[in-house]
Chain A
């Protein structure tokens, strides 16, 4: 079974530039998550989709971050414009979405973003 795919793996941009990340979840997984992991901290949930609807985006900085999952499969996360504090690893995860407590989330390898 193929895992969660993410691209690019690494990205270096200057502040105020735009950047986009792509995620393809495990086939058949209804729920997709984007996390931000800043060095020295644990991953923080940015947004959660159930199929193509948003379940939770309470921690997404909506003035600069946006995400979409138009066909309920793959997803893109965009930052426009980027700030220095956006330097982090952006992780995508997916799960079956069967609403079972303790359901495992499967993670991709992440995109490491450096904003100069």
Chain B
């Protein structure tokens, strides 16, 4: 059973502040890492798919980095806004032989306070 962990489990951020949180995953047999944002009562939304060591992806004020050799990814939110409040999930892709099965971390719940 793969171990995908996210920390912290939750965090409160003041509006306008920047924040970041971590996803750790197995460093061997890496295929891809996915980030999703899940707002309450909505569908989880795909943010990034990261496949190469050193990848950096950006979408608006949200960016992510990837280190496959040490098995971690950071997600950054710059200048947090109340609409950034959501649970952020990372998922480790086990590769084609496993049918591209995703193993999710427990999520980081972000609450941005006005």
Contacts and interface: CB of A to CB of B under 8 A. Distances in A.
A102 B51 contact: yes
A30 to B, nearest CB: 12
Interface string B2-36: 00101001000000000000000000000110101
Quick one: which of A3, A31, A43, A50 has the most chain B CB within 10 A?
A43
Contacts of B34: 102, 104-105
A14 interface: no
Nearest to B1: A59
Contact of A102 (B42, B45, B93, B105): B93
A107 B41 CA distance: 12
B106 A109 contact: no
B99 A105 contact: no
- Of A41, A107, A108, most buried by chain B (CB within 10 Å of CB) is A107
Contacts of A55: 99
B102 interface: yes
Contacts, number: 69
Interface string A52-87: 000110000000000000000000000000000000
B93 A106 contact: no
B99 A101 contact: no
B107 A101 contact: no
B104 A43 contact: yes
Contact of B51 (A40, A41, A101, A109): A101
Interface of B: 4, 6, 9, 31-32, 34, 36, 41-46, 49-51, 89, 91, 93, 95-96, 98-107
Given A42-B105, A102-B100, 9 more contacts: A31-B100, A42-B107, A45-B103, A48-B99, A50-B99, A99-B96, A100-B100, A107-B43, A107-B45
